[in-house]
Amino acid sequence: MSSRPEPPQRPAVRVTVAQLEVGRDRSANLLVVRDALRVAVRARADLLVLPEYASAYDPRGVGVDLAEPLDGPFVTALQREAAAHGLAVIAGTTVPGGEPGADGRPRAVNAVVAVDARGALAGVYRKVHLYDAFGHRESERLAPGPADAPPLVLDVAGLRFGVLTCYDLRFPESARRLLDAGADVLVVPAAWASGDLKAMHWRTLAVARAIESTAAVVAVGQAGRGVVGRSLVVGPDGVVGLELDESPQVRTVDLDADELRTVRERNPSLEHRRYAVVPRT
């Protein structure tokens, strides 16, 4: 029997950050996503990262009306494009099937899909921490994912990308679980709600997760009404290498695997940990 070759090891892994503005029109959103895919392909990226709710978004709230199954148009389009171009994709979407809320009304699930460079659906992360804060009630429309689900980590060209989404960024134990699963890079698709101090929180938390994890952080925000945008890529030493403003933009960066190893050798804080993370169910 023949075996598939191991993914190539590269000195740098190229990542395209797509800070997109999308709305309720799924067909229009797919056109926006395809434009970002074309930019990533021209840049010869290994990985494209799209924001949370890239399939459809409403700043008033996202629920079952904007959900579509994993075999629906959005995810299958990502799989086709990934296979055609040898490009891995991480993207936020909303899927049906969440448990009803306390009022009995149906809820969806906020999910992030990871598609590998062969076009296979490598994994799905269902958001654990729902945004019931700062006046928002995400749990009225969405059901949480299981806290004890295996972490989602995608191997891309020799680096391992662990997936969080949006509000999860405020919970360092979520990042620790991904590190324990072998993540080198934390990927955070988000639609980070705007408001007093919110942009500052977003940046500060992304930098903190990088420093305490000695991991790179790729935090990709959505642009548009009610969200901050401001995507950023942070090195494992906490240095911000890319930072966008509020407008829709697509940019490409290289993540240096050697830099990651050097930082972890100089700052072996992960080896010095004395406590484990145990999910609370």
The mean pLDDT value for 5-31 works out to 86
Residue 166 designated active-site:
yes
Reference 125, options 202, 84, 177, 64; nearest CA is: 177
Assign 9 a pLDDT band (cuts: 50, 70, 90): low
Assign 1 a pLDDT band (cuts: 50, 70, 90): very low
Predicted confidence (pLDDT) per residue in 126-158, tens digit: 999 999 999 999 999 999 999 999 999 999 999
| CA–CA dist 87, 60 (Å, integer) | 33
Which two structure tokens, joined as six digits, stand for 127? 């958001």
Instruction: Tell me the DSSP string of 15-40.
Output: EEEEE----S-HHHHHHHHHHHHHHH
The reported pLDDT for the residue numbered 17 is 98
Contact 242, 251 (CB under 8 A): yes
Q: Kindly name the residue from 21, 68, 138, 166 that is annotated as catalytic.
A: 166
Q: At residue 170, does pLDDT exceed 60? A: yes
Q: At residue 219, does pLDDT exceed 90? A: yes
For domain 13-266, give the CATH number: 3.60.110.10
Assign 4 a pLDDT band (cuts: 50, 70, 90): very low
The reported pLDDT for the residue numbered 244 is 98
To the nearest 10°, the Cα dihedral for 93, 108, 166, 31? Answer: 20
Residue 52 designated active-site:
yes
Q: At residue 197, does pLDDT exceed 80? A: yes
Its pTM stands at 0.94
Reference 122, options 96, 90, 145; nearest CA is: 90
Predicted confidence (pLDDT) per residue in 242-271, tens digit: 999 999 999 999 999 999 999 999 999 999
The mean pLDDT value for 81-109 works out to 93
Q: Kindly name the residue from 21, 52, 68, 138 that is annotated as catalytic.
A: 52
Q: Kindly name the residue from 21, 68, 81, 127 that is annotated as catalytic.
A: 127
The mean pLDDT value for 199-206 works out to 98
| Domain map (residue ranges) of the chain | 13-266
